[in-house]
């Protein structure tokens, strides 16, 4: 398989994966729809940083430990499940208590952004991605199949991962734009509470699914 063919083939596979609604989609939509633009892009960059790290670790052979070590996989799985459940419950309780998990403050562009902004979003996106061992297992199982024979394994693996990152950024741009179009409706307190509760339930659901999955 030539490198060009490998890039296009991998782009098709991860493109379909990127378009499939999941935890990343829920977090990006929720953060952006509530008007937290900087934090939303922080979440996007955090998720893609995690993707790049998973791909780099896989290319270097590090993530193969997840498939070889049951204990390592279980520790990461339970840590990820606990983090997702904690984050989801925080979203549900914040609005239920009449407050918000992020206190808005005026940004330089006049937009109200949560304390921490870009950095807080980046941490959330990065942790959500890195604490999901299934992302690592996916890369271990799929990435090597698209690296052409004779090609430098590490360089080719990182190049393929960058394709996934670029597609993720482009799709996130669409999601952020769509969510911002709904800001008028989401200005209503009832709508904001519903957004947080729905997203919180989704995040908790992903955490529980990760906890009970084998």
How many CB atoms neighbour CB 101 within 10 A? Answer: 15
10-residue mean pLDDT profile of the chain (214 residues): values are 84 88 85 84 95 91 68 74 82 60 43 65 92 81 83 90 96 90 72 75 79 73
Helices then strands, counting H and E runs in the chain, come out as: 10, 2
E-only strand ranges, the chain: 104-106, 112-114
Task: Give the chain's end-to-end CA distance (angstroms, integer).
Answer: 33
How many CB atoms neighbour CB 86 within 10 A? Answer: 12
Confidence (pLDDT) at 1: 55
CA atoms of 101 and 197, how far apart (whole Å): 12
The answer to whether the beta carbons of residues 192 and 95 sit under 8 Å apart is yes
Confidence (pLDDT) at 172: 95
Confidence (pLDDT) at 122: 95
Confidence (pLDDT) at 198: 80
Could you tell me which residues are beta bridge partners of residue 106? 112
CA atoms of 66 and 58, how far apart (whole Å): 10
């Amino acid at each position: 398989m030539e490198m060009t063919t490998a890039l296009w083939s991998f782009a098709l596979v991860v493109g379909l994966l990127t378009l499939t609604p999941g935890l990343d989609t829920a977090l990006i939509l929720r953060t952006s729809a509530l008007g937290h633009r900087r934090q939303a892009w922080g979440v996007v960059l955090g998720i893609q940083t995690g993707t790049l790290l998973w791909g780099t670790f896989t290319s270097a052979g590090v993530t193969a430990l997840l498939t070889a070590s049951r204990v390592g996989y279980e520790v990461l799985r339970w840590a990820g499940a606990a983090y997702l459940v904690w984050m989801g419950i925080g979203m549900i309780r914040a609005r239920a208590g009449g407050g918000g998990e992020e206190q808005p403050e005026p940004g330089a562009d006049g937009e109200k952004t949560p304390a921490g902004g870009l950095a807080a979003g980046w941490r959330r996106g990065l942790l959500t991605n890195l604490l999901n061992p299934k992302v690592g297992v996916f890369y271990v199982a799929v990435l090597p199949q698209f690296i052409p024979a004779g090609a430098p394994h590490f360089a080719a693996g990182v190049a393929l991962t960058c394709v996934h990152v670029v597609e993720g950024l482009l799709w996130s741009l669409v999601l952020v734009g769509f969510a911002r179009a709904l800001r008028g409706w989401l200005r209503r307190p009832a709508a904001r509470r519903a957004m947080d509760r729905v997203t919180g339930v989704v995040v908790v659901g992903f955490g529980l699914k990760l906890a009970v999955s084998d």
